[in-house]
Amino acid sequence: MQVELRTLIALLDGAADELIPALANKTPLEAAEKLFIDRLASSGLVGYTGAYLHTHQFLADLLAEGGQVPRGILEALALDIPLREGMIVYRLSPARIDGGSIELEYNLSKEMLQSLESLVNKMLPLISDLSPRIYFNDGRGILVLAKTGFKPVSSSPFEDDGLDALPIMLQDFVRRIALRNNGLTIIPWGGGVFKNLGLRPRVRRLSILSNSPAAHGLAKLLKIKAHNISSLDDLLNQARRLVKEGNVLVHFERPDMESHKRSYTGKVSAIEEADHILEELYRETGYRILLVIDHGTSSMTGRHFRVETPFLYAEKPAEEVSRRFHEKIPGEFVPTGRLLNLISK
């Protein structure tokens, strides 16, 4: 009887980066001591995919057939926010604005977040004509608009027109909050109209391990299981259990988080941590590994950027390292929507 080979899909969030002078002009991916990943790259298929600005865009193309889903809608679904067809939903992120430039704030204190949320609620009458509802959740938020009269653009705070892409009423709302709060405000982005999307999963026997609301929202649309991760031990225990049921996607978010802190040393550490976890899981389960990176995140500026990102697919590691896995490794381009074809062979 032939044994079914199952696959661990490892998503290294934001692991691609710029050259860092303090790392001898290497990227964190190049500088990291990641022997297991490099052994996988030495034995398997390597190439490029992308390029995206955000994780939810990458995951939608990787896991689903049927098109992109706005970030706001995915996160609202993950939080079980009541929606009806035609509503417009945005993700809200704390940010500072200076003229037209936007800098997201990732490390605000609990007190600053509470103060910002209180001010946002006080300013909500400015957009009362849109019948707004706001839901805050651990430093982020969701804006639901029942009445609009405009078509939302699924903008990004990392694009030059991140604020100008919003309707004038929302621009004014954002700027008025900033004026009263020393430039600190909230940015609506990733907006879209809630409707029947008709997405289909590319693989059905899949579980997701992630703390990302966007990943959980996409899982709900695709009717696949998604689980939060409370610790590294919890990640290992859940992955061991879930591999018995089928393929598993593990979302390593720490490389992106360290980038937003502008910590290239933290990012190197995060990549090395993922390497150790993957080696331990392979040693215990023996499943194949598809390693992917969703987008670039600069550990110099803390901002996401579009770049074709490397991937690898291997059934087992090589005995010795003959090539290292990094942003410039030679390989062919494979569209993200075709990557899962590799695990069905």
Write the pLDDT tens digit of every residue in 108-126.
Answer: 999 999 999 999 999 999 9
Reply yes or no on whether the pLDDT at 1 is more than 60: no
- Which CATH class for the 7-69+199-344 domain? alpha beta
27-58 core/surface letters (b: 16 or more CB in 10 A; e: else): bbbbbbebebbbbbbbbbebbbbbbbbbbbbb
Nearest alpha carbon to residue 49 among 270, 317, 341, 257:
341
Reply yes or no on whether the pLDDT at 236 is more than 50: yes
**Contact between residue 226 and residue 207 where contact means Cβ atoms under 8 Å apart:** yes
Maximum alpha-carbon separation in the chain: 69
* Beta-bridge partners for 248: 8, 207
**Which residue, chain included where needed, has tokens 């609202």?**
76
Domain ranges of the chain: 7-69+199-344, 71-193
* Angle, helix 264-285 to helix 35-43, in steps of 10 degrees: 60
Write the pLDDT tens digit of every residue in 169-211.
Answer: 999 999 999 999 999 999 999 999 998 888 999 987 899 999 9
Query: Could you give phi then psi for residue 67, rounded to 5 degrees?
Result: 115, 180
Confidence of residue 4 (pLDDT cuts 50, 70, 90): low
Write the pLDDT tens digit of every residue in 34-79.
Answer: 999 999 999 999 999 988 999 999 999 999 998 889 999 999 999 9
Could you give the CA distance from residue 159 to residue 151 in angstroms, rounded to a whole number?
A: 19
pTM for this structure? 0.92
* Lowest-confidence pick of 16-20, 41-45, 105-109: 105-109
- What residues have CB less than 8 Å from 1, skipping those under 6 apart? none
Reply yes or no on whether the pLDDT at 285 is more than 50: yes
Domain 71-193 indexed as CATH 3.30.1490? no
Average pLDDT taken over every residue of the chain: 92
Could you give the CA distance from residue 213 to residue 232 in angstroms, rounded to a whole number?
A: 19
